[in-house]
């Protein structure tokens, strides 16, 4: 019988491999730039024409190759990156399969120019459709240049699926931006035709690179984030909640210096923003994971766009908690300052696996630096702190002033809606309703974890007639409502009786709060869709409907109590709707406004 199984010719095998590795011109640029980074390049120049369909040229100043290595690099599975199976668990380079260059050469007309230090002459190779046409000496400095012409010239079925030149150029730019963010110490340039699209000089931190890419204002809206777990380290930049917008966002993930995609980790980061951003807001994220050997498998995707973690749940928890911690600090608050300084964050430079090692297994999560009400008021060298750590504020005749005790900040209510507080470095403007929302939300969530919220029994119970849907919901949620402080009894039909209610403040209207809560819970809202469970939905609606309203005049004692309670919460700078509770105004900005800076 004739044989049905045979070995594919190399040219066919290479074209099949190219189908996995070379999806579009951006894939070619990504692979060639990664090779340049692995070669230790400090400057990389990319030129494309026709979106890369007609021409791609990538030049670097890396270590280059001798003639034998240059020829061998065109063979499949020829690589300098690994040599033993166990090294796959600790890949320390971008490329390691040895498929990229032969795959690209199989579907293009490729020219490779290279030279290494000490060579009397470099080498130039010309390849067409995977066949080497010529090998010659070539004068050049150490480094490598790869030029790819007429991509998919011998695979017209694939070429016709490429997008218009403008779309392919955007994809090339996106691929290069991702690698530039992973390697801020490397200079990158991108030209399309005669147009310079990117010109990134080497820098020493990520925020400066973000500023070079998208402007200083965007970089100034970022906050530093840092956390650790067993064998895991995470550093990054996350956007201030008030600066986040809807629609498209910049979100970049890196593991050991390698860009990758992970919708689950982005969802974990978004969970960290829960109750600090309005529904639909999509904050920017730049997250850099550093992991120990064996924690991540980078060999699960032909184009290395995805990775697999040994314990993805632990990584997601680290991302969520680290983002959450970053949003607890005063820098996450909204601000009126017009000149903010971008945060400085140095990441491990160069290729994956090089530089700072990951945290040692067994080390606990890093505690966030102290950032509390006390930190806002700690005295400087020229101030004398009060007994409670606050600077003493002296009025006329050296008489201490403040809402209650010596050393407390001065507070003023404006338009019966906002509270002004003088702090060490400027002024806080507090929205009393939003601030009380955050306080009530955290108190009730804490109470749910214990015995529930305290309530007071009404001398005259409230009889409330509800809609049929509302009445059904109240009976379904009777147990949770009781723990929230609302003791409800069925009266018959669509009527219920409120026997006990919470008492969060002297101006609380129990009937109005209960009715508005039940109506929102019945009809639903964007706010409630962001909650993780029913307890959080109840806490959100209670905080919103039960908080002190704008327009309510507050005595000094109540302002001071609200101020202290707000800074005792985990996220004092954001209410449950994602609006700011506080807007900062620095002394420096005041001086600028009055021409003193």
- Tell me how far apart the alpha carbons of residues 231 and 363 are, in angstroms, rounded to a whole number: 8
- Tell me how far apart the alpha carbons of residues 372 and 442 are, in angstroms, rounded to a whole number: 16
| Average pLDDT of the chain to the nearest whole number | 84
Q: Does residue 383 have a pLDDT over 50?
A: no
Q: Does residue 221 have a pLDDT over 80?
A: yes
Q: Domain 455-501+508-546 belongs to what topology?
A: Ribosomal Protein S8; Chain: A, domain 1 (3.30.1370)
Three-state DSSP class for 156? helix
The CATH number of 206-335 is 3.30.230.10
Q: Does residue 357 have a pLDDT over 50?
A: no
Burial class (CB in 10 A: 0-12, 13-18, 19+), 350: middle
Confidence bin at 364 (pLDDT 50/70/90): very low
Is the CB of residue 220 less than 8 Å from the CB of residue 284? no
Q: What is the mean pLDDT of residues 328-352?
A: 81
Superfamily of domain 373-433+555-593: MutL, C-terminal domain, dimerisation subdomain (3.30.1540.20)
Confidence bin at 151 (pLDDT 50/70/90): very high
The pLDDT of residue 378: 41
CB under 8 Å to 5, separation ≥6 — which residues?
A: none
Rounded (10°) CA dihedral 213, 219, 222, 226: 70
Q: Does residue 113 have a pLDDT over 60?
A: yes
The pLDDT of residue 373: 47
The pLDDT of residue 236: 95
The CATH number of 10-200 is 3.30.565.10
From the DSSP assignment, how many helices (H) and strands (E) are in the chain? 19, 25
What would the pLDDT profile of 35-87 be if each residue is shown by its tens digit?
Answer: 999 999 999 999 999 999 999 999 999 999 999 889 988 886 555 554 444 44
Q: What is the mean pLDDT of residues 328-340?
A: 91
Q: What is the mean pLDDT of residues 468-485?
A: 94
Is the CB of residue 590 less than 8 Å from the CB of residue 289? no
pTM above 0.95, yes or no: no
The pLDDT of residue 420: 96
Confidence bin at 405 (pLDDT 50/70/90): very low
How many CA atoms does the CB half-sphere of 138 hold within 13 Å? Answer: 25
Q: What is the mean pLDDT of residues 441-455?
A: 94
Q: What is the mean pLDDT of residues 127-141?
A: 92
The region of weakest confidence among 2-6, 189-193, 215-219, 460-464 is 2-6
What would the pLDDT profile of 222-252 be if each residue is shown by its tens digit?
Answer: 999 999 987 789 999 999 999 999 888 999 9
Confidence bin at 456 (pLDDT 50/70/90): very high
The pLDDT of residue 18: 55
Three-state DSSP class for 441? helix
- Tell me how far apart the alpha carbons of residues 474 and 521 are, in angstroms, rounded to a whole number: 10
DSSP-derived letter for residue 502 is: -
Helix (H) or strand (E) holding 238: strand 232-239
Three-state DSSP class for 536? helix
Burial class (CB in 10 A: 0-12, 13-18, 19+), 161: exposed
Q: Where are the domains of the chain?
A: 10-200, 206-335, 373-433+555-593, 455-501+508-546
Is the CB of residue 56 less than 8 Å from the CB of residue 48? yes
The pLDDT of residue 230: 78
Find the helix packing angle between 534-546 and 510-523, rounded to 10°.
140
Q: Does residue 125 have a pLDDT over 50?
A: yes
How many CA atoms does the CB half-sphere of 190 hold within 13 Å? Answer: 22
């Amino acid at each position: 019988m004739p044989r049905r199984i045979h070995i594919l010719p190399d040219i066919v095998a290479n074209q099949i491999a190219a189908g996995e590795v070379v999806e579009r011109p951006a894939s070619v640029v990504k692979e060639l730039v990664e090779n340049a980074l692995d070669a230790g390049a400090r400057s990389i120049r990319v030129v494309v024409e026709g979106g890369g369909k007609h021409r791609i040229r990538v030049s670097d100043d890396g270590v280059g190759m001798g003639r034998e290595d240059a020829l061998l690099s065109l063979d499949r599975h020829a690589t300098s990156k690994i040599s033993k199976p166990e090294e796959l668990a600790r890949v320390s380079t971008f490329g390691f399969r040895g498929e990229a260059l032969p795959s690209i050469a199989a579907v293009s007309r490729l020219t490779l120019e290279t030279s290494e230090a000490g060579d009397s002459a470099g080498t130039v190779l010309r390849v067409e459709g995977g066949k080497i046409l010529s090998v010659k000496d070539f004068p050049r400095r150490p480094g490598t240049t790869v030029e790819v012409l007429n991509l998919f010239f011998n695979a017209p079925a694939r070429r016709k699926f490429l997008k218009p030149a403008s779309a392919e150029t955007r994809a090339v730019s996106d691929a290069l931006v991702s690698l530039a963010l992973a390697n801020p110490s490397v200079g990158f340039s991108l030209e399309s035709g005669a147009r310079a699209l990117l010109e990134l000089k080497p820098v020493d931190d990520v925020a400066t690179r973000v500023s070079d890419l998208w402007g200083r204002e965007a970089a100034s809206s970022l906050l530093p984030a840092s956390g650790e777990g067993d064998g895991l380290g995470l550093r990054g930049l996350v956007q201030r909640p008030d600066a986040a917008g809807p629609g498209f966002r910049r979100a970049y993930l890196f593991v050991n210096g390698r860009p990758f995609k992970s919708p689950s980790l982005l969802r974990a980061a978004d969970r960290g923003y829960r109750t600090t951003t309005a529904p639909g807001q999509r904050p920017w994220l730049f997250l850099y994971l550093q992991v120990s050997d064996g924690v991540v498998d980078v060999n699960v995707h032909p184009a290395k766009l995805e990775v697999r973690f040994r314990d993805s749940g632990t990584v997601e928890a680290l991302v969520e908690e680290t983002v959450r911690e970053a949003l607890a600090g005063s820098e996450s608050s909204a601000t009126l300052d017009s000149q903010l300084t971008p945060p400085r964050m140095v990441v491990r430079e160069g290729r994956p696996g090089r530089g700072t090692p990951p945290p040692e297994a067994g080390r606990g999560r890093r505690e966030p630096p102290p950032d509390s009400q006390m930190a806002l008021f700690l005295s400087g060298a020229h101030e004398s702190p009060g007994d409670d750590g606050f600077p003493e504020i002296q009025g006329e005749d050296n008489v201490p002033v403040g809402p209650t005790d010596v050393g407390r900040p001065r507070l003023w209510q404006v338009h019966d809606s906002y509270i002004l507080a003088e702090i060490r470095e400027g002024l806080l403007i507090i929205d009393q309703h939003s601030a009380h929302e955050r306080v009530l939300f955290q108190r009730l969530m804490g109470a749910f974890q214990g015995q529930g919220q305290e309530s007071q029994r009404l001398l005259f119970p409230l009889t409330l007639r509800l809609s049929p849907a509302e009445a059904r919901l109240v009976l379904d949620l009777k147990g949770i409502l009781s723990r929230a402080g609302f003791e409800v009894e069925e009266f018959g039909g669509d009527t219920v009786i409120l026997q006990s209610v919470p008492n969060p403040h002297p101006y609380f209207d129990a009937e109005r709060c209960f009715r508005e809560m039940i109506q929102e819970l019945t009809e639903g809202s964007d706010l409630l869709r962001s909650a993780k469970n029913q307890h959080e939905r109840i806490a959100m609606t209670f905080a919103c409907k039960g908080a002190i309203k704008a327009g309510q005049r507050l005595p000094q004692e109540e302002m001071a109590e609200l101020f202290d309670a707000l800074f005792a919460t985990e996220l004092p700078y954001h209410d449950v709707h994602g609006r700011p509770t506080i807007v900062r105004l620095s002394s420096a900005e005041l001086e600028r406004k009055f021409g003193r800076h």
